[in-house]
Structure 1
Amino acid sequence: MSAAQAGSPGATVLPRAARVFGDGPLSRACALIHTLLTVEGMLLLTLAPSMLGLLFLGADPANLPLAALCLVPLGPSLSAALYALHHRSRELTELRPARVCLRGLRLNSCAALRIWVPLLAWLTVIAYGLTHFAATGLPGWWAVLLGVIGVGVLLWGAHALVLTALFTFRTIDTARLAGYFLLRHGRATLGAASLLVLVTAATLWWTEALPLLLAPVLLLSLLHTSRPMIAETQEDFTA
């Protein structure tokens, strides 16, 4: 028997690596589910007055300006949810998603509103024009053009909200970066477009409440497809 095996004074005994509670795949999955459910609860809580207002308004196109006013809190809420999902903990013992979401709401609300309010105004004008298009007497290709502009505004808005949630830039710089990344990172733009199609289909074929219920999963997917954009922003546009 060797000296190491016999436990002689010169032997080095290496301790066996112990598994830490909360670092297994099942624990990480539970942490993710807990974070998603908490973010969903925070979204429902912050958007409850808006949803109540939309229920009272109904689906009359004449109410579009009032509906847009009800949706003003949606921008800061989405920004806070993106912040919480990006900074989520992978360990069960370090889960504080509600606190992180509130921090994101406090840090990003003003910046998100400066992006979201003009975006919402543009979308309201486009939606109002499309719903009353027959009364304008314009050729049909104008409706197609308005639809294309609306999709472009939504994709730009998705990039802008991600940048607003994760970085601190001037509003004009955020707007420019969002426009730059529309063509710079086609994968991120395509991912946002796919989510837009999914949300539209869920709203038209099932219920408008379904995208809200799936919002944390959709936002997590948006963060995943936006990783190249986030990485380039960190490397090239932050100190």
Structure 2
Amino acid sequence: MTSNSLPGELGRGSLGRATVTVHRFGAIGLGFVLASLPAVAAGMLLPWGGLALLVIVLLTVAVAVALAAALAAWRDERGAEHPAPWAAFWRGWRRNAVDVTRAVTPGLLLIGIIAVSVADAGAAGVGAGYAWLLLGIAAVVSLISIRVAVLASMFSFRTRDLWRLAVYTLFRVPRATVALVAVAICVVGLVWLTNEAVPMLLGGAAARLLLHHEGPVIDLVRNQFTQEGKDVSS
């Protein structure tokens, strides 16, 4: 007996490919939402000020881990013959949770301290110029932290090496950095215009977009800083 492809499997026409695409976006997006729930709950329940703000920022490590899992799922699904995005997401979550948490926590801690300082700037009598300087530093650290999460989801480097590579690639691959800034601005804009839940619902799609634009960065790190890249070039 010959086995026919099931509806929605790869290679079954445009409708099948569309079904696979919707399946992937839905499954990875739902996984992202569920994995990010600690940060979402903290943002909705805790007041935005003082030490509670520091707690909220630190809990966004869950979002970083969810992002890494989504990136890993999209990478694994790209060449998969039989789509299994739900399993791919949670496999990526288990594989990356510890490494990504360790990698992004220093940056999130710094951002949290800055957030508390800016929130209490008025009471402390700190000038507006200094507050804007702190916000600028937090923005740069946020961009680097996102790049760190991307690299941590793809490679097994030490934390300090991930940060060095993230800073290095910000200048080495400017086109990817511009795209990263654009994605970050869109996320901030969505939060400003709506609330924190909307970017979370679009997290799976954002991870797919981020993986596309971060491709040159991933290729650069693989080719120049891993044994795999050296073996290929030799």
Normalising by structure 1, we get a TM-score of 0.83
Quick check: 1:54–1:70 contact (8 Å CA) kept in 2? no
**For 1:94, what is the secondary structure of its paired residue?**
coil
**For 1:169, what is the secondary structure of its paired residue?**
coil
Deviations 1:100-138 (A, max 9, x none): 112211211111011121121111111112112222333
CA separation of 1:126 and 1:180: change in aligned 2, threshold 3 A:
same
Aligned residue pair count = 220
- List runs of 5+ in structure 1 lacking aligned partners: 1-18
CA distance in 1 between counterparts of 2:43 and 2:194 reads 17
2:21 paired residue number: 32
Quick check: 2:40–2:197 contact (8 Å CA) kept in 1? no
Stretch moving more, 54-63 or 114-123: 54-63
Bigger Rg, structure 1 or 2: 1
Give yes or no for the alignment of 1:129 onto 2:107: no
CA separation of 1:22 and 1:238: change in aligned 2, threshold 3 A:
same
CA distance in 1 between counterparts of 2:105 and 2:51 reads 19
Quick check: 2:151–2:218 contact (8 Å CA) kept in 1? yes
Q: CA RMSD of the aligned region, Å?
A: 2.2
- List runs of 5+ in structure 2 lacking aligned partners: 228-234
CA separation of 1:57 and 1:116: change in aligned 2, threshold 3 A:
same
Give yes or no for the alignment of 1:98 onto 2:55: no
CA distance in 1 between counterparts of 2:214 and 2:42 reads 32
CA distance in 1 between counterparts of 2:42 and 2:191 reads 18
Give yes or no for the alignment of 1:68 onto 2:57: yes
1:186 paired residue number: 174
Normalising by structure 2, we get a TM-score of 0.85
Pairwise mapping of residues 212-223 of structure 1 onto structure 2 (< 5 A)? 212-223=200-211
CA distance in 2 between counterparts of 1:25 and 1:158 reads 34
Quick check: 2:49–2:116 contact (8 Å CA) kept in 1? no
**% identical equivalent positions:** 29
Give yes or no for the alignment of 1:78 onto 2:78: no
> Higher RCO, 1 or 2 (CA under 8 Å, sep at least 6)?
2
Pick one of 52, 68, 80 that aligns with 2:41: 52
Which is richer in helix? 2
| Deviation for aligned residue 1:50 | 3.9
CA distance in 2 between counterparts of 1:186 and 1:225 reads 11
